Amino acid sequence: MQATPGPDPLRAELAAAQARGPIRVIIEQPRTSWIARGLKWLVVLVVVIWLFSSSFEKSYYGENDLQERWHSLSHTATDKVAIISLEGAIVGDESFVKKQIDHVADDEHVKAIVLRIDSPGGTVTGSDYIYHHVKKLLETKKIPLVVSMGSVAASGGYYVAMAAGGAEDTIFAEPTTWTGSIGVIIPHYDLSGLLEKLNVSDDSIASNPLKMMGSPTRKFPEPIRAEEQKILQELVDSSFAGFKDIVLAGRPALRDNQEVQSVVFTGRIFTAQQAKANLLVDRLGFIEDAIDRAIELANLNKDDVRVIKFHRPVPIMEQLLMGGSQSRKQALDMSALLDLASPRAYYLCTFMPGVNATER
């Protein structure tokens, strides 16, 4: 005989539950960890700070993004001597220098300018851009300008210094300044031999071989290579002639001194003492000496002059994320890489390997 199956315990329990009333199912959400909650609130806090800082900086600093700060002499005087700073390589982002120039142009209380240069130079166009706008400022305001050179004021940095225009005793170099390097360079490296060793070839298609002029990866046959070198040299010579004209306009004593010209236009760099002996600077002195000369040229009373300089504030968000220890930096994006790869002429003092061999 077959055994009769006993009652199913699960069915019995379900029947008893139905007898007590409707069944309710409760699903519990898993608890969020304290780390996840903290990250969520951190994101909210960052967004709030960013919105606040953007609004505050626009309202406080204005669109000019520039602060005027006291540098020396009187704290309360109305008449000002403004220090315009050119620092670092001139690489195509001259907005801070231009903003300083614009600020001085709009300030009727600025009676003289000290142009503080601490730069090895940079692109031909960037150097000429700053020179042009400084000259335009002087023509508009009719006020004196004195140059104060820092650790280095070479090549494009020296080019900008010529905005002083040849006025007597207006180019000051510190005793440890390096200056000069009057010349033009188009950096170029031939990597074709290395690529051959790696079994890599440049197979770019161009409308004409000279379209690839200056390419570091393409090895041209001799007739094309000679034509390339000739064209590049003509570009350098043209820019160099323009540089010489600017220097001769800014240093009148050089115009009739062929012996000194044969030294200073070789592209070499000079110490401050050598530069003074070769008529490239007027005096050895510090920024305080340049300020005194600017006050003298403007016929101002030293006891009633406020010396100011300009500061570009670091945004609040950048201070939080970077600790306020670094200045603004350009992002290394694809456009920057392409720009670095483009052939470009420089008024630049550099010790990059292999570069000085092509300097004119």
Q: What pLDDT was estimated at residue 7?
A: 60
Q: Is residue 199 part of a domain?
A: no
360 neighbors 240 (Cβ within 8 angstroms): yes
- What is the bridge-based pairing of β-strands 67-73 and 145-154? unpaired
Tell me the pLDDT tens digit for each residue of 261-275.
Answer: 999 999 999 999 999
**What mean pLDDT, rounded, does the chain reach?**
83
Q: Report CA 39 to chain centroid distance, whole Å.
A: 35
Q: Is residue 181 part of a domain?
A: yes
Tell me the pLDDT tens digit for each residue of 165-186.
Answer: 989 999 999 999 999 999 999 8
Rg of the chain over Cα atoms, rounded to whole angstroms, equals 33
Q: Which residue range forms the structural domain that includes residue 307?
A: 57-186+234-358
165 neighbors 141 (Cβ within 8 angstroms): no
138 neighbors 168 (Cβ within 8 angstroms): no
Residues with catalytic roles: 155, 211
Q: Is residue 131 part of a domain?
A: yes
In sequence order, the 6+-apart residues with CB closer than 8 A to the CB of 246 are 131, 159, 162
Q: Is residue 242 part of a domain?
A: yes
Average pLDDT score over residue span 81-86:
98
CATH of the domain at 287: 3.90.226.10
Q: What pLDDT was estimated at residue 23?
A: 57
Q: How far apart are CA 109 and CA 233, in angstroms?
A: 47
Q: How far apart are CA 265 and CA 241, in angstroms?
A: 10
Q: Is residue 172 part of a domain?
A: yes
Number of domains in the chain: 1
Average pLDDT score over residue span 142-157:
97
Give the model's confidence band at 203: pLDDT under 50 very low, under 70 low, under 90 confident, else very high.
confident
Q: Is residue 287 part of a domain?
A: yes
Q: How far apart are CA 7 and CA 212, in angstroms?
A: 91
Q: Is residue 197 part of a domain?
A: no
3-state secondary structure of 206: coil
Give the model's confidence band at 357: pLDDT under 50 very low, under 70 low, under 90 confident, else very high.
very low
Q: How far apart are CA 87 and CA 97, in angstroms?
A: 9
Identity (one letter) of the amino acid at 29? Q
Q: Is residue 3 part of a domain?
A: no
Q: What pLDDT was estimated at residue 155?
A: 96
Give the model's confidence band at 192: pLDDT under 50 very low, under 70 low, under 90 confident, else very high.
confident
